[in-house]
Amino acid sequence: MQRICLFPGTFDPVTLGHTDIIDRALPLFDELVIGIGVNSGKEPMFSVEQRVEWIREIYRGQPTIRVTSYEGLTVNFCKEIGAKFILRGIRYVSDFEYEKAIADINRKMDHDVETIFLTCSPEYSTIASTLVRDVIRHGGPAAQFLPEQVAESIIGAAKKKS
């Protein structure tokens, strides 16, 4: 039986914190599905297509990674793709409390899906997409928080606008 894991998130944009968790999770699973959740109530800074493209570019040549988008309950999407694991990254203790509540609800809805928590490496613990979006919006030095492919794309787009 294949160990398929879903790493859900908005990845708006994908940061070095995300790639830290992905890179460290790769040896744990046969397939890691990076699922970009689409929430109609939120207006993302970057399109779903752009976020999918970034992750595919970052992990080009990595056969155990699949990138897709989905709507609805994460636990239902797990059934669709055959995932028995959900991966969540933890930066702080406060993240754990929130993530544990979600994991408990998911487990009640489907007792066959297990949530796995990975703490991020200390050098990435302060990186959050929300904060990175603020840096980008205000023209700050966001590249230090982003994978090279994402930074180049955002900086290139900003140069075209000016």
Q: Give φ, ψ of 41 to 5 degrees.
A: -85, -10
Contact 37, 60 (CB under 8 A): no
Residue 138 is given by DSSP the state T
Contact 8, 45 (CB under 8 A): no
Out of 24, 56, 66, 91, which one is annotated catalytic? 91
Domains and CATH numbers, the chain: 4-160 (3.40.50.620)
What pLDDT does 35 receive?
98
Out of 40, 42, 60, 138, which one is annotated catalytic? 42
Strands (E), 49-122: 65-71, 85-90, 114-119
What pLDDT does 158 receive?
60
Per-residue confidence in pLDDT tens, the chain, 162 aa: 899 999 999 999 999 999 999 999 999 999 999 999 998 677 899 999 999 999 999 999 999 999 999 999 999 999 999 999 999 999 988 889 999 999 999 999 999 999 999 999 999 999 999 999 999 999 999 999 999 999 999 877 665 565
pTM of the model: 0.93
Q: Which helix (H) or strand (E) holds 9?
A: strand 4-9
Annotated binding-site ranges for substrate:
10, 42, 74, 88
Nearest to 34 by CA among 65, 2, 3: 65
CB-facing half-sphere around the CA of 74: CA atoms within 13 A: 28
Q: List Cβ neighbours of 26 (8 Å cut-off, separation of 6 or more).
A: 32, 62, 64, 65
Annotated binding-site ranges for ATP:
10-11, 18, 89-91, 99, 124-130
Rounded to whole angstroms, the Cα distance separating 159 from 113 reads: 44
Mark whether 129 is an active-site residue: yes
Mark whether 159 is an active-site residue: no
